[in-house]
Amino acid sequence: MSQPPIDSRLTNQTADAIFKSFNIYRTRFSEITRRAKLRFRDHDWKGMRADAAQRLGLYKNAVDRIEIDIRRLLADRIQEKQVWASIKAVYSDMLLRIDDWELAETFFNSVTRRIYATVGVNSDIEFVNTDFNVPPTQTKSNIFYTFEAREPTADLIQQIFAKYQLMVPFLDIEHDADQIASKIKIHLSQMGSSDKIDRIDMARNVFYRGMGAYLIGRIYKDSVLIPLAIALLNLPDGGVVDGVLLNEDDVSILFSFTRAHFHVEVDRPYDLIHFLKTILPNKRIAELYISTGFNKHGKTELYRELLEHLTACHEDRFDVSRGQRGMVMIVFNMPSDDLVFKLIRDQFGTPKKTTRREVIGKYDMVFRHDRAGRLIDAHEFEYLKFDACCFSPQLLTELSQNARKTVRIGNDFIIVNHGYVERRVTPLDVFLKNADESQAQNAVIDWGHAIKDLAVSNIFPGDILLKNFGITRHGRVVFYDYDEICTLTSCNFRNLPPAADYEDEMASEPWFYVDENDVFPEEFIKFIGLPDPLKAVFLQHHADLFEIDFWQRAQEAIQAGELPHIFPYSESCRFKRK
């Protein structure tokens, strides 16, 4: 039976509706983002956190609304791929005049995948690759300011500050500029270079997140490019420069996949991302989009990168990831790639009592929560299609036995109906087995800091076990096992009641009633799994984690509305205040 002719009026109307919906979303996104400078000026940290949560929800709400409109518009032709191919062509032409075309392409993909639940990809009805190898519009203004170094570095830094409308009176801008200049001089000296720089390029807009604001740029010295990030705080008595970051690793941590998104005003994201890429050449484009708030397009870039990587699967196969076998998740990766896939098992091992729906809810909670630099960002994917040759026999057996609700295995293909993709880190228990003494001590000390950072951010990991934490390439400890995660304020921290007699002490079951949310910190020591020398180091720095006082004080601070500022850079980057 032949298809009815395509109605050009209908395709134009549908493309226009999607395009308008995207522009409304972008307008609302920008309105929230612009509020960041006012929040910073007014010390309105609760408002900043509320804005971050509101902005995260905009995209789904926009797609929900346009889906309803599209179903009404197309009616019984909603599933006709020829119609959608025509809609895509009309929509693509509309992108020739806008500066955020790549975000608009991703928005279109979100709509079509909502309508079709596409298995794999279909380039006829979605932008598998961008339609534009080069930007379709010309840059109207440079994304950065350039400051030629014709005077002492401290004077140049003051010129930089004068260029920004920070709306905050600084306590001693001359002193701060001198400190930045001194740090730059020391850095150049360590490079074996003179202290005379050539120029500084600075991104035009301020990056806001939490209680901090950041000026991001690059220093040119001869043929060398040096990253530059200036960290600002607005204290009760005025603004200060809290520190300066001058190496790629420190700036990379600032833009980490474990942190909340920046609020930075930008009309043409492509230019900003490629400016940042010059500063952070080892940071993937996807992560830069995500860190600046464009997480959906970051996910698109991640998927495109994955598709390219899969072309080499005859040499590099997915296999079960290193570390202890998870009770809730099957975790696998390609050895040459730094991403891992996590699929929910059909059945959970004892003593897990959670459900599939609850696990998905935990991951959604992490997405919406301030990750405090300690929770890995997990990207949710559906209906991924792979060649079966990309999977090792061991992994195929694992999937066929334990993930039949999630995975469909054909003769020459694998379809993953639902899963998460995260950055791969080394499990902490694996790392400690291979680390030297100094590395191991630093790791267990930071493990304690990670638990504390999560606590003051209203997160309790649930399972405080080495295997549920990992260590990044920068040596930071992060948490990635979310099936038991909960808010700290939902926990009831208790001391163990004293045993009535010896039989109580030796009993396999508690001699007292334990409610679902009861937590006994003094029992943590039994489960941390550290050898005695490292246990001694951990206790030296974090013995308070085994007492209820720490946890109850953290709860009281959260309930009182106190918000912590967890510094996204090391103490060595900070300035000493008078």
The CATH number for 445's domain is 1.10.510
Residue 509: the pLDDT is 66
275 and 319 housed in the same domain? no
Residue 47: the pLDDT is 97
Given 100, 370, 377, 429, which residue is catalytic? 377
Antiparallel, parallel or unpaired: β 207-209 and 319-320: unpaired
Which of 424, 449, 479 is the last residue in one of the domains?
A: 424
377 and 278 housed in the same domain? no
106 and 218 housed in the same domain? no
- For residue 133, being part of any structural domain is answered with no
Mean pLDDT value of segment 498-516: 66
Residue 506: the pLDDT is 60
Question: With bands split at pLDDT 50, 70 and 90, how would you rate the model's confidence at 333?
Answer: very high
Asked if residues 266 and 205 have their Cβ atoms less than 8 Å apart, the reply is yes
Strands (E) in 222-268, as ranges, are 224-235, 238-245
Instruction: Give CA–CA dist 341/331, Å, rounded.
Output: 6
The answer to whether residue 577 scores a pLDDT higher than 80 is no
Give the rounded distance of the alpha carbon of 114 from its chain centre: 23
Which of 262, 293, 324 is the last residue in one of the domains?
A: 293
Mean pLDDT value of segment 216-240: 96
Residue 121: the pLDDT is 73
156 and 259 housed in the same domain? yes
Residue 267 structural domain: 144-293
pTM of the model: 0.93
The residues facing 227 across adjacent strands are 218
Residues in the chain: 578
Mean pLDDT value of segment 390-401: 94
168 and 282 housed in the same domain? yes
Mean pLDDT value of segment 270-297: 97
The answer to whether residue 315 scores a pLDDT higher than 80 is no
Residue 336: the pLDDT is 84
467: Cβ contacts below 8 Å, ≥ 6 apart: 323, 324, 427, 428, 429, 481
Question: With bands split at pLDDT 50, 70 and 90, how would you rate the model's confidence at 203?
Answer: very high
59-68, 214-223, 382-391: which has the minimum mean pLDDT? 382-391
User: Could you tell me which of 379, 279, 297 has the C-alpha nearest to residue 100?
Assistant: 297
Residue 290: the pLDDT is 97
Residue 445: the pLDDT is 97
Asked if residues 92 and 128 have their Cβ atoms less than 8 Å apart, the reply is no
Greatest C-alpha distance within the chain = 85
Mean pLDDT value of segment 451-466: 94
Residue owning tokens 């304690």: 448
- For residue 307, being part of any structural domain is answered with no
415 and 317 housed in the same domain? yes
Question: With bands split at pLDDT 50, 70 and 90, how would you rate the model's confidence at 123?
Answer: confident
Question: With bands split at pLDDT 50, 70 and 90, how would you rate the model's confidence at 306?
Answer: confident
- For residue 512, being part of any structural domain is answered with yes
The answer to whether residue 84 scores a pLDDT higher than 80 is yes
Residue 116: the pLDDT is 84
Instruction: Give CA–CA dist 526/238, Å, rounded.
Output: 47
Q: How many domains does the chain have?
A: 4
Residue 376: the pLDDT is 95
111 and 157 housed in the same domain? no
535 and 487 housed in the same domain? yes
- For residue 555, being part of any structural domain is answered with no
300-314, 365-379, 525-539: which has the minimum mean pLDDT? 300-314
Which of 265, 293, 321 is the last residue in one of the domains?
A: 293
| Better pLDDT: 356 or 351 | 356
Question: With bands split at pLDDT 50, 70 and 90, how would you rate the model's confidence at 505?
Answer: low
Active site residue 377: yes
The answer to whether residue 83 scores a pLDDT higher than 60 is yes
Residue 142: the pLDDT is 92
Residue 374: the pLDDT is 96
62 and 201 housed in the same domain? no
Residue 312: the pLDDT is 59
Instruction: Give CA–CA dist 335/3, Å, rounded.
Output: 47
282 and 151 housed in the same domain? yes
The answer to whether residue 153 scores a pLDDT higher than 70 is yes
- For residue 127, being part of any structural domain is answered with no
Looking at every residue in the chain, the average pLDDT score rounds to 92
13-22, 165-174, 237-246, 399-408: which has the minimum mean pLDDT? 165-174
What is the 8-class DSSP label of residue 575? Answer: P
Residue 508: the pLDDT is 61
- For residue 560, being part of any structural domain is answered with no
Question: With bands split at pLDDT 50, 70 and 90, how would you rate the model's confidence at 507?
Answer: low
Instruction: Give CA–CA dist 322/427, Å, rounded.
Output: 8
- For residue 380, being part of any structural domain is answered with yes
Residue 349: the pLDDT is 80
419 and 436 housed in the same domain? no
The answer to whether residue 118 scores a pLDDT higher than 90 is no
The answer to whether residue 6 scores a pLDDT higher than 80 is no
- For residue 266, being part of any structural domain is answered with yes
288 and 318 housed in the same domain? no
